[in-house]
Amino acid sequence: MKKLPNISISSKQWLTGITIVCVILMGISLFTDKISVPLKRVASVIVVPMQKGINDIGTYVYSKYTLLKDFSRISEENLQLKEEIARLTEENSQLSLNKFELERLRALYDLDDKYANYQKTAARVIAKEAGNWYSVFTIDKGSQDGIEVDMNVIANGGLVGIITDVGEDYAIVRTIIDDGNNVSGMLINTGATCTVEGSLSLMDSGYVYLKYFKNDTEVKDGDKIVTSNISSKYVEGLLIGYVKEVTTDPNSLTKSGYLIPVVDFEHLQEVLVILDKK
């Protein structure tokens, strides 16, 4: 059996042949549609669906790319908005703090003007005992600022308490609401005397005790109680608070009730120390 001849066609020959065929077809297409029409049909069956598929893929990829790009942009804008909100929130908080501090300082200024006949120095509360109430607390002024034991302390329109201990740069204040602390008071309109007695447990209701009015004393809710002229440590005329529910005691000799302090003993931050001692 004879072996078939081994015919080898180089790539150059293939390229030359394909080029000749293309040139022939182009020449024929110039003079007749008999070849171009079938080719167009073949293209419409094969090429057009491929082209449509490629276009669909391109459209899908582009839409995903656009979506991803928009998502990245929105995420960045969202992050910027969050940072702006955080900055504005911090700024608003600082403005609120400044506003509240300004209001407190104005109140302190008004109080200083109210008791203009006394020399005073302002101090800031820097520590307090455990609990809800400022019954005993520390201020940032001491002996180097002229502070001495038994000096009176005021804030919020009235009496806070008295200095009980002094360091070089600090002082301890015991307030009128501390358990067992007694202040000699009097009705501002009649001068009738009484005793204001501190009670931390009673302060949860917003009151302290008001005791030892004479039974014939005319007193009603809302009457002002100030420090009396007979007090041994408190200067005269400092507002302490307002009368609440005074009734006759079982001994029928005295009247007792409650006092609503004028000072907010839950939120003290600044005070005035009266440098004039009794």
- 42-90 confidence digits (pLDDT tens): 555 555 666 666 667 777 777 767 777 777 778 787 788 777 777 777 7
What pLDDT score was predicted for residue 30? Answer: 58
In this prediction, residue 115 carries a pLDDT of 87
Q: For residue 57, what are the CA distances in angstroms to 53, 63, 64, 176?
A: 6, 10, 11, 83
- Tell me if 236 sits within 8 A of 152, measured CB to CB: no
Q: What is the pLDDT of residue 76?
A: 81
Q: What is the pTM of this model?
A: 0.65
**What would the two tokens of residue 159 be?**
């009496």
Residues of the chain with pLDDT under 50: none
pLDDT of residue 234: 96
Amino acid, single-letter form, for residue 10: S
Predicted confidence at residue 150, as pLDDT, reads: 97
